[in-house]
Amino acid sequence: MKELTKQQSKVLACVEVYLNKTGFPPTRAEICKELGFKSPNAAEMHLRALEKKGYIAIQSGSSRGLSIVKSQQSFEPVSDSVPVIGLVAAGSPTLAEENIEKRISCDPSLFAEGFDYFLKVKGLSMIDAGIHEDDLVAVKKTTQVKNGDLVVVRIEDEVTLKYFNQQDHLLELIPANKDFSTIKIDLREQEAFVEGKSVGLIRTH
Amino acid sequence: MKELTKQQSKVLACVEVYLNKTGFPPTRAEICKELGFKSPNAAEMHLRALEKKGYIAIQSGSSRGLSIVKSQQSFEPVSDSVPVIGLVAAGSPTLAEENIEKRISCDPSLFAEGFDYFLKVKGLSMIDAGIHEDDLVAVKKTTQVKNGDLVVVRIEDEVTLKYFNQQDHLLELIPANKDFSTIKIDLREQEAFVEGKSVGLIRTH
DNA sequence: TCATATACTGTAAAAATATACAGTATAAAT
DNA sequence: ATTTATACTGTATATTTTTACAGTATATGA
| List of domains in chain A | 6-68 (1.10.10.10), 81-202 (2.10.109.10)
pLDDT at site A90: 44
Rounded to a whole number of angstroms, the distance from the CA of B3 to the nearest CA of chain A is: 23
Residue B23 sits at the chain A interface (C-beta within 8 Å): yes
Gap from B58 CA to C30 C1', Å: 35
Distances (CA, A) of B165 to A173, B151, B153, B184, B199: 39, 10, 12, 10, 17
Q: Beta strand B66-68 with B56-58: parallel, antiparallel or unpaired?
A: antiparallel
Please say whether the beta carbons of A135 and A121 come within 8 A: yes
Q: Which amino acid is at A4?
A: L
User: Which residues, other chains included, contact B3 with Cβ-Cβ below 8 Å and sequence gap of 6+?
Assistant: none
Residues B104-118 have pLDDT tens digits of 777 777 787 888 889
User: Which residues, other chains included, contact B144 with Cβ-Cβ below 8 Å and sequence gap of 6+?
Assistant: none
Q: What SS3 class is residue A56?
A: strand
In degrees and rounded to multiples of 5, residue B150 shows phi and psi of -90, 115
Number of A/B CB contacts below 8 angstroms equals 111
Cα B115 from Cα B201, distance rounded (Å): 11
Q: Beta strand A81-86 with A117-120: parallel, antiparallel or unpaired?
A: parallel
Cα B135 from Cα B111, distance rounded (Å): 16
Q: What SS3 class is residue A190?
A: coil
Element holding A42 (H helix, E strand): helix A40-52
Cα A34 from Cα A19, distance rounded (Å): 13
Residues B126-156 have pLDDT tens digits of 999 999 999 999 998 888 899 999 999 988 7
> What is the Cα B170 distance to its own chain's centre?
36
The answer to whether B125 CB sits below 7 Å from nucleic acid chain D is no
Rounded to a whole number of angstroms, the distance from the CA of A80 to the nearest CA of chain B is: 9
As a whole number, mean pLDDT of residues B178-184 equals 92
Q: Report which of A129, A133, A147 is spatially closest to residue A194, judged by C-alpha positions.
A: A147
User: Which residues, other chains included, contact A30 with Cβ-Cβ below 8 Å and sequence gap of 6+?
Assistant: A18
pLDDT at site A99: 62
Half-sphere CA count of A64, side-chain side, radius 13 A: 22
Residues B47-70 have pLDDT tens digits of 988 988 888 889 888 999 999 987
Residues B17-35 have pLDDT tens digits of 899 889 999 999 899 998 8
Which A residues between 45 and 74 have a beta carbon under 7 A from any strand D atom? 58, 60-65
Please say whether the beta carbons of A119 and A100 come within 8 A: no
Residues comprising chain B, all counted: 205
> What parts of chain A have a pLDDT lower than 50?
74-78, 88-91, 95-97
Kindly state the DSSP code that residue B109 receives in the 8-state scheme.
G
pLDDT at site B72: 67
Residue A20's closest chain B neighbor by CA?
Answer: B67
Q: Tell me how far apart the terminal alpha carbons of chain A are, to the nearest angstrom.
A: 28
Catalytically active residues of B are: 125, 162
Each residue of B41-68: b (16+ CB within 10 Å) or e?
Answer: ebbebbbebbeebebbebeeebbbbbbb
pLDDT at site B77: 41
- CB contacts, 8 Å: A131 with chain B: 130
| CA–CA–CA angle A190, A193, A194 (5° rounding) | 140
More confident residue, B203 or B89: B203
Please say whether the beta carbons of B134 and B121 come within 8 A: yes
- CB contacts, 8 Å: B107 with chain A: 78-79, 105-107
pLDDT at site B76: 41
Distances (CA, A) of A40 to A26, A120, B48, B63: 12, 50, 31, 17
Cα B186 from Cα B167, distance rounded (Å): 10
Residues A146-162 have pLDDT tens digits of 999 999 998 877 788 99
Residue A126 sits at the chain B interface (C-beta within 8 Å): no
In degrees and rounded to multiples of 5, residue B96 shows phi and psi of -55, 145
pLDDT at site A75: 39
Averaged confidence pLDDT in chain B: 84
Number of DSSP helices (H) and strands (E) in chain A, helices first: 3, 11
Cα A46 from Cα B166, distance rounded (Å): 56
Distances (CA, A) of A49 to A38, A39, B8, B10: 19, 16, 39, 37
